[in-house]
Amino acid sequence: MAAPPPSSSPTPAVPSPLSLPVLGGRRSSYRERVVDALRAALIAGELLPGEVYSAPALAARFGVSATPVREAMLDLAKEGLVDAVPNKGFRVTEVSDRQLDEYTHVRALIEIPTVAGLATTADPVSLEALRPAAREIVAAAVAGDLIAYVEADTRFHLGLLALAGNAHLVEVVRDLRGRARLFGLTALSASGRLLASAEEHLELLDALLARDERAVREVMTRHLGHVRGLWASAHG
């Protein structure tokens, strides 16, 4: 009797394992490392908007126990990146075009005048200290290293805003950036358009050091508009 033909049904895809990075060498606790890794997976598109993930399933992909993953997901829920789904896990929040517009609008209201004011108040030494982060952003864009890009970009922008001396303002922008998740970085990196946005950080620093408030305002306006335009093209 002839053997039955092999089944033609497709083999289910196996989720890829995830790693536990230590971004910038600043995170030390295990829970913080899991939060960083989950946030990185969200940004890189490894965890998809609208999908529900259980803590045990994610823990298996990380090779860790479910408890730190569950705690990390609760932290991300406070940031608006995921929503708890009772008895199932966590759903990755979807970001609409309207929300991206709103986040960009609020950021513009806060960041443009704040950074423009630094052209006359910021210490040149403190400004120059941000140049390595600006260069890291460009290098990450060239290399297509999205996680390094996000880490350096966040460090640059929040470090710049911190020079204004308003800690609450910095936290508000941190929250807005987290909710937006720098949407569409994967597609932007592949198309080569991410580099133009990255280079604006160096241009901004040069304008600040030149004490050119008008140029600072122009670069910041273009940068935020550029970012929203990149989001739109990636999200549309």
Whether 49 and 103 share a structural domain: no
Domain identity same for 38 and 127? no
Number of domains, the chain: 2
* Assessment of whether the complete model's pTM goes beyond 0.95: no
52-53: strand order across its sheet: 52-53, 89-92, 82-85
Is 8 part of any domain? no
Q: Measured at the alpha carbon of residue 193, what is the angle toward residues 191 and 210, in degrees to the nearest 5?
A: 165
pLDDT tens string 156-197? 999 999 999 999 999 999 888 877 765 566 666 666 678 888
State the residue range of the domain holding 76: 23-92
Q: How confident is the model at residue 1 (pLDDT cuts 50, 70, 90)?
A: very low
> Is residue 71 a part of any domain in this protein?
yes
Pair (149, 176) in one structural domain: yes
* Same-domain pairing of 144 and 109: yes
**How confident is the model at residue 162, as a pLDDT?**
97
Q: In this structure, what CATH number is given to the domain that contains residue 113?
A: 1.20.120.530
Answer with the one of 92, 109, 143 that is the final residue of a domain: 92
H helix runs in 44-96, sequence order: 55-62, 66-78
Q: Are residues 101 and 168 in the same domain?
A: yes
The string of pLDDT tens digits covering residues 212-232 is 999 999 999 988 876 665 555
Q: Are residues 134 and 84 in the same domain?
A: no
Domain boundary among 60, 92, 124: 92
Q: Average pLDDT, stretch 91-100?
A: 84
Would you tell me how many other CB atoms lie within 10 Å of the CB of residue 103?
A: 22
- In sign, the C-alpha dihedral spanning 160, 164, 167, 172 is negative
Same domain, 38 and 84: yes
Residue 64 in any domain: the answer is yes
Domain assignment of residue 1, yes or no: no
227: left (phi over 0), alpha (psi -120 to 50) or beta: alpha
Q: What is the pLDDT of residues 36-91, one digit of tens each?
A: 788 777 766 678 888 999 999 998 888 888 999 999 999 889 878 899 999 999 99
Lowest mean pLDDT among 22-31, 100-109, 172-181: 22-31
- Answer yes or no: is 9 within a domain: no
pLDDT tens for each residue of 132-149: 999 999 998 888 777 788
SS3 state of residue 50? coil
The DSSP symbol for 163 reads T
Residue 13 falls inside a structural domain: no
Question: Do residue 81 and residue 151 come from a single domain?
Answer: no
Tell whether 83 and 103 lie within a shared domain.
Answer: no
Q: Are residues 118 and 168 in the same domain?
A: yes
Q: The CATH number of the domain where 35 resides is what?
A: 1.10.10.10
Q: Residue 10 has what DSSP assignment?
A: P
Residues 224 and 153 in one domain: yes
- Alpha-carbon gap, residue 211 to 201, rounded angstroms: 16
Shared-domain flag, residues 87 and 101: no
Rounded distance between C-alpha atoms, residue 216 and residue 127, angstroms: 13
Considering 39, 64, 92, which residue would you say is the last residue of a domain?
A: 92
